[in-house]
Amino acid sequence: MTGKSAFILDGYVDEPACLGVPPYISPYIRTVAGALSSQGYSAKYLTIDQVRKDAGLISAMKSSDLVVMIAGVTVPGKYLGGTPATLTEIRLIGAQLRGPETFLAGPITFGYASAGGRKAVKGEVSGFDHLLSGSPASALDGFLREGKTHGTYDYRREDPWAVAGASIIRDHPAFPWIMCEIETARGCSRAHSGGCSFCTEPFYGPPVFRSIEGVAREVESLCAAGARHFRLGRQPDILVYGSSPAEEYPAPVPGRIEDLFSSVREAAPGLLTLHIDNVNPGTIARHPDKSRAAFDAIVAYHTPGDVAAFGMETADPEVIQKNNLKASPAQVMEAIRIVNEAGGAREDGIPHLLPGLNFIAGLAGETPRTYAMNRQFLAGVLGSGYLVRRVNIRQLMPFYGTKAFSENTLGIHHAQFRAFKEQVRKEFDLPMLRRVFPAGTLFRSVIIEEEGMPSFGRQMGSYPVLVGVPYRLRPMAIRDVVVVDHGMRSVTGLPVPIEVNMLPVATLSWIPGVGRKMAGKIAARRPFSDLPEFQALVGPTPVDAWLSFSISPSTR
């Protein structure tokens, strides 16, 4: 097989415990690359967005020996960095790839729906020669060895592939500004009781934990390939890493958490981002002291701006009971308190670790009163003074094999859902965002993703806030930005230093307390020699520390 060529086409994945939409790159990509390498293939990587922009890439793939496409969304979201492949696109690409042997793998095997609020259709996807089920890397290796298309999950086999496939990240169009999603476990401890009614993670069974050595070796190989941003995100609950897999709500083992995070730091001493994703609020509420100790270990080794995503889903006790959900509203509030105490300290103005909340509409037992309870809960959070990084509200996308596939309230309370979402954005998100990132907060290394007026960008991280910059900046420009205003789901920021003597009037108007009229006066009085002269006209502002009064030839 030496000398054979292959392409890995990333259609992007989004699962309850795995994100692979840019800037994230999923573990599937790297293990498949490693499996191909072990079979003597030279693999190249492409994204679905690259193929959308350049149809000629289809011809390039057709000239190879083998093509593997990874795709599938089981948790729908809104994306800025990329758009997951649709079922139509998957079928069309498969039909066009005549010549190489073609494979389709990933959560697409669970089914497909175009958006939340619809049932996922499970069935054969036409166009590809083979549909790989189970572990994509293991299934592909099994096929190349003996024609099998189902792969079992086994870290003893997959860990070496993850190491061998690490260098594939260099083919990513956004490299080195990519976030490597790192797997620490597969499966859910709540699989013992069937898990949450809507979730696909119990399909993987009770948790199997990856070894610390396996994680560290992969991180070390990714770091050697140029990666600097990592998220230990591929697991349902980071707190129970290394805990008893036989219990539904096992107690955290803080020492194992510390060993895991310290090993990642040692494997990538030059890392710039180390974040987490999923945390079960039920774990925190049932084991508060050990959970707090585990969070203390995380905060000691991670980087600020981190988010612990809570799958709350609803504040309605009846919906919680009917869907076997994780925690009561009181337990979630307790979890919010503990995370705030452990992670609320700020570094350079940014909170270390805050909770995020997920709500799902359309679950069994939902009534109009459900939305009133959700609003009441969020009002309680706002009144408590605790900080929450973000609230995600989505409609149920039920998959075949989950309880929610047949038991749900899809389409019944759509008006209440829309009204709830709108109210949360205005009455919760806006004031909370002002608390979390007040005017004058500095975001370092914001990566511009959309050029325009404003340009839009984000930091690397777990659920980074969208930053609108009222200035035209080219894509992939990296700028430090200071917050000057807030929207419901985003902030407005100015590049620092804020060049008072050179910026356009429209941009100057965003300085807090300035506005259009005062910006015109500033332009007429330029150049200013220093801050006191500027303050004599404008007065003090929250961003005075970031103002610069350099003078370009055009303003002399």
Q: What is the CATH number of the domain that holds 130?
A: 3.40.50.2300
Report yes or no on 205 lying in a domain.
no
Domain assignment present for residue 236? The answer is: no
pLDDT by residue for the chain (556 residues), tens only, comes to 457 999 999 999 998 889 999 999 999 999 999 999 999 999 999 999 999 999 899 999 999 999 999 999 988 778 888 999 999 999 999 999 999 999 999 999 888 876 777 887 776 677 899 999 999 999 999 999 999 999 999 999 999 999 999 999 999 999 999 999 999 999 899 988 889 999 988 888 889 999 999 999 999 999 999 999 999 999 999 999 999 988 999 999 999 999 999 999 999 999 999 999 999 999 999 999 999 999 999 999 999 999 999 999 999 999 999 999 999 999 999 999 999 999 999 998 999 999 999 999 999 999 999 999 999 999 999 999 999 999 999 999 998 889 999 999 999 999 999 999 999 999 999 999 999 999 999 999 999 999 998 999 999 999 999 999 998 999 999 999 999 999 999 999 999 999 999 999 999 999 999 999 999 999 999 999 999 999 999 999 999 999 999 876 543 3
Question: Alpha-carbon distance 299 to 274, whole Å?
Answer: 10
Radius of gyration over every alpha carbon of the chain, rounded to an integer in angstroms: 24
Task: Residue 363: name the closest of 327, 328, 397 by CA.
Answer: 397
CB atoms within 10 A of CB 200: 25
**201 part of a folded domain:** no
- 130/168 same-domain check: yes
Q: Are 33 and 5 in contact (CB under 8 A)?
A: no
Whether 430 and 284 share a structural domain = yes
The number of C-alpha atoms within 13 Å of 152 and in the hemisphere containing its C-beta is 4
31 lies in a domain? yes
> What pLDDT does 38 receive?
96
Domain shared by 23 and 141, yes or no: yes
Quick one: pLDDT at residue 1?
Answer: 42
Query: Of 436, 468, 491, which one is at a domain's C-terminal end?
Result: 436
> Cα–Cα distance between 11 and 448 in angstroms, integer?
22
Residue 317 sits at the vertex; the CA angle it makes with 313 and 320, to the nearest 5 degrees, is: 45
CA distance 20 to 234: 10
Q: Based on the domain organization, do 286 and 383 belong to the same domain? A: yes
Residues 337 and 297: their CA atoms lie apart, in Å, by 17
Asked, for residue 137, whether it belongs to a domain, the answer is yes
- Same domain? For 549 and 482 the reply is yes
Dmax of the chain from CA atoms? Answer: 79
Q: Based on the fold, state whether residues 545 and 397 are members of the same structural domain.
A: no
pLDDT at 555 (0 to 100):
39
- Examine the domain organization and report whether 292 and 403 are in the same domain: yes
Structural domain contains residue 161: yes
- Domain annotation covers residue 421: yes
Range of the domain at 310: 184-194+272-436
Residue 265 lies in a domain: no
Task: Find all residues with CB under 8 Å of 376, minimum gap 6, and list them.
Answer: 315
Evaluate whether 469 touches 481 at the Cβ level (below 8 Å).
Answer: yes
Determine the Cα–Cα distance for residues 355 and 298; give it in Å rounded to an integer. Answer: 14
For the chain, how many structural domains are there in total? Answer: 3
Indicate whether 109 and 59 sit together in one domain.
yes
299 and 331 assigned to the same domain: yes
According to the model, what pLDDT value does residue 123 have? 67
Task: Indicate whether 498 and 516 sit together in one domain.
Answer: yes
Q: How far is CA 142 from CA 5, 28, 146, 154, 162, in A?
A: 18, 16, 6, 13, 16
Are the C-beta atoms of 391 and 357 separated by less than 8 Å?
yes
Q: What is the pLDDT of residue 124?
A: 64
What are the tokens at 553? 């030839």
- Among residues 436, 463, 487, the one where a domain terminates is 436
Q: How far apart are CA 123 and CA 314, in angstroms?
A: 31
β-bridge partners, 478:
447
**Are 315 and 406 in a shared domain?**
yes
Read off the CATH number of the domain in which 404 is found. 3.30.750.200
Q: Which two tokens stand for residue 154?
A: 């086994």
pLDDT, residue 556, reads 33
Question: Please, which residues have CB within 8 angstroms of residue 344's CB and are 6 or more apart in sequence?
Answer: 351, 352, 353, 354, 387
Domain end position, chosen among 414, 436, 458? 436
Are the C-beta atoms of residues 29 and 175 closer than 8 Å to each other?
A: no
**CA pseudo-torsion sign 294, 300, 301, 302:** positive
Are 92 and 144 part of one and the same domain?
A: yes
